[in-house]
């Protein structure tokens, strides 16, 4: 089994992330809208909260998973956050 590397998302990952979210069986288990363009994903990551985290999992230098952590900034919910995760169907 190949080792898994976890690191922050980078702009070079956009096409591979779009490929993961283009898998119907992956999107069926998320709150994502299917068939979004790579341009959507490029803009999505540019506008994310810098205090949150966007991580990718790589196997043999291929992005195979994604995790996003979104922190709440309102005073009442400052102690909470939410996350989404997906893994390529392969």
Residue 60 has a pLDDT of: 94
* Summary mean pLDDT of the chain: 84
Residues of the chain with pLDDT > 90: what percent?
24
Residue 63 has a pLDDT of: 96
> pLDDT by residue (tens digit) across 32-74?
777 787 788 777 767 766 666 889 999 999 999 999 888 888 8
Question: Cα(68)–Cα(85) distance, rounded to whole angstroms?
Answer: 7
Q: Which residue has the higher pLDDT, 66 or 26?
A: 66
Give the CA dihedral 16, 18, 23, 27, nearest 10 degrees.
Answer: 130
Question: Cα(19)–Cα(65) distance, rounded to whole angstroms?
Answer: 11
Residue 76 has a pLDDT of: 92
Question: Cα(22)–Cα(20) distance, rounded to whole angstroms?
Answer: 5
**How long is the chain?**
90
């Amino acid at each position: 089994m190949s080792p898994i590397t976890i690191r922050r998302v980078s702009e070079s990952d956009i096409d591979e992330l779009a490929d993961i979210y283009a898998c119907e069986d992956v999107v069926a288990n998320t709150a994502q809208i299917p068939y979004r363009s790579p341009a959507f994903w490029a803009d999505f990551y540019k506008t994310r909260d810098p205090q949150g985290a966007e991580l990718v999992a790589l196997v043999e230098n291929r992005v195979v998973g994604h995790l996003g952590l979104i922190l709440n900034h309102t005073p009442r919910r400052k102690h909470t956050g939410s996350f989404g995760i997906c893994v390529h169907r392969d």
